[in-house]
């Protein structure tokens, strides 16, 4: 849905059809998540020509104007749902990723959740009502929490006021920036631990980091900036817009792939890395690593494996990603059977297994038996993330068929928002009948508005607007 909207917006702006796209993903996305992103692009009608990591894209935007002197740069990317941090060497037209780590479920939404839990507890304490089963009330509260979080980036405190939130009761509460920081302290500590870890991975001291670049909307949180400043002993670089830098970098990568020959762009070279170690299962359920984490991509490695028992003719090739020694603790990406192995004593027959990763970070695994020249291969298409061609086609057809329905749903959402806005205006009226009417309609929106027909919403909107117009409000 997001990619479809972006495609539509780009086509409206350009007056042209858009077919190809460079898509950025969190650095810590695994193989199945990357495959799923490519599928999403196909369903949206886009040919995803390259997938690049978000911190690397941000570094491209930053490095475009900083390509002369070589130095170590740390890219700190904290968005709405993910956290990535990468150490790069930038200079002389080269952007090379030394190490990258992060967390796929740590970001602004988690900070919102802490606020939601806090206010829900306050509501229960004050009114004796539990809203945990009221999904509409929780949605309204989460939206208000996100708004409060944004306000706390520029104000020392803010208030949250929701009329008829649950059981006809209102929520009125104040939250300070200090309390917000206390509620999220363990998440902030997790971010600092990940910072320490990436420096160990890169084998570099924090004193050797020449510059820290902030990406992602959540880096606007004052405590985050203060933490980064204290950790590195220097002011983080905020010269690039944290919301736009990643998209800017993707545009630069697209220009490079499209053959743009302008001086600065044509001289840039981008070297990305593998986010997880990759290997296969060997005797004893051990993961034997073929490509180590933080290896530069694209890359290709081949390892020789021998049979484990006498006269073994089939060898299962089970592909894993992860950093643990035992396969049970890592993530199974896919598997295939290597058959046609000649009957020999254990350890005599061999199979060459090759792992190849392309520039998108997508893994291709192949195996060949040197004597018989029997081959087998797989492009990792984890069932957790990868859709079949038929499933993709069905979703494309469904998306086309649902266009009209999506349009109606959008109109309903806009109408609901306008009615709520008008009700807010009515609550500020001096006349009691106007305030009562506005309160009643807000309660109706909270309880039934999400399922209401657009005709009903527009009728109530017109009714309230006429009432306000007669009173010159």
pLDDT tens figures, 53-101: 888 888 888 765 555 678 899 999 999 988 989 998 887 767 788 888 8
| pLDDT tens per residue across span 216-233 | 999 999 999 999 999 999
Q: Buried (b) or exposed (e) across 35-46, using 16+ Cβ within 10 A? A: bbbbbbbbbbbb
- Angle, CA of 435, 441 and 445, to the nearest 5°: 145
How many whole angstroms separate alpha carbon 382 and alpha carbon 367? 18
With the C-alpha atoms ordered 266, 269, 275, 276, is the resulting torsion angle positive or negative? positive
pLDDT in tens, 254-303: 888 887 756 566 556 666 778 788 999 987 788 889 998 878 788 899 99
**This prediction's pTM:** 0.65
If phi > 0 it is left, if psi is from -120 to 50 it is alpha, else beta; for residue 68 that is alpha
Residue 76: closest CA among 62, 66, 64, 93 = 62
Q: Tell me: the pLDDT tens digits for 319-361? A: 998 888 888 888 888 888 888 888 888 788 889 999 998 877 7
In this predicted model, what pLDDT tens digit does every residue of 410-429 receive, in sequence order? 677 778 878 888 888 888 88
- Sorted by sequence, the CB contacts under 8 Å of residue 54 that are 6+ apart come out as 24, 25, 26, 27, 77, 79, 82, 84, 215, 216, 246
């Amino acid at each position: 849905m997001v990619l479809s909207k972006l495609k539509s917006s780009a086509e409206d702006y350009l007056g042209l059809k858009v077919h190809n796209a460079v898509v950025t993903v969190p650095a810590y996305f695994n193989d199945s998540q990357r495959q799923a992103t490519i599928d999403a692009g196909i369903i949206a009608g886009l040919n995803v020509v390259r997938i690049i990591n978000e911190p690397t894209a941000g570094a491209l935007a930053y490095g475009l104007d900083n390509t002369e002197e070589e130095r170590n740069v740390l890219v700190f990317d904290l968005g709405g749902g993910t956290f990535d941090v990468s150490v790069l060497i930038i200079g002389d037209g080269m952007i090379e990723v030394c190490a990258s780590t992060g967390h796929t479920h740590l970001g602004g939404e988690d900070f919102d959740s802490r606020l939601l839990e806090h206010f829900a507890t306050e509501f229960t304490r004050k009114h004796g009502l539990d809203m945990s089963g009221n999904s509409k009330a929780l949605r309204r509260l989460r939206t208000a929490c996100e708004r409060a979080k944004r306000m706390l980036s520029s104000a020392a405190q803010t208030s949250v006021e929701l009329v008829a939130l649950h059981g006809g009761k209102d929520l009125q509460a104040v939250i300070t920036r200090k309390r917000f920081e206390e509620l999220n302290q363990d998440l902030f500590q997790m971010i600092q631990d990940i910072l320490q870890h990436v420096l160990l991975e890169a084998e570099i001291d924090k004193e050797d980091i020449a510059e820290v670049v902030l990406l992602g909307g959540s880096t606007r949180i004052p405590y985050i900036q203060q933490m980064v400043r204290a950790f590195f002993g220097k002011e983080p670089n905020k010269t690039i817009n944290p919301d736009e830098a990643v998209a800017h970098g993707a545009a630069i990568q697209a220009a490079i792939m499209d053959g743009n020959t302008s001086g600065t762009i044509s001289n840039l070279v981008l070297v990305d890395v593998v986010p997880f170690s990759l290997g296969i299962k060997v005797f004893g359920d051990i993961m034997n690593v073929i490509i180590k984490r933080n290896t530069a991509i694209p890359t290709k490695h081949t390892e020789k494996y021998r049979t484990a028992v006498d006269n073994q003719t089939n060898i299962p090739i089970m592909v894993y990603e992860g950093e643990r020694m035992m396969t049970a603790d890592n993530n199974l990406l896919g598997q295939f059977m290597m058959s046609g192995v000649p009957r020999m004593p254990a350890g005599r027959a061999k199979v060459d297994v090759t792992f190849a990763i392309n520039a998108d970070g997508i893994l291709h695994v192949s195996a060949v038996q040197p004597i018989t020249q029997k081959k087998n291969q797989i492009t990792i298409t984890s069932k957790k993330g990868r859709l079949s061609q038929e499933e993709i086609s069905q979703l494309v057809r469904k998306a086309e068929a649902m266009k009209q329905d999506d349009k109606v749903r959008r109109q309903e959402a806009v109408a609901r928002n306008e009615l709520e806005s008008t009700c807010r205006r009515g609550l500020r009226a001096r006349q009691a009948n106007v305030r009562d009417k506005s309160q009643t309609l807000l309660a109706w929106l909270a309880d039934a508005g999400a399922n209401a027909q657009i005709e009903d919403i527009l009728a109530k909107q017109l009714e309230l607007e006429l009432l306000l117009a007669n009173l010159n409000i």
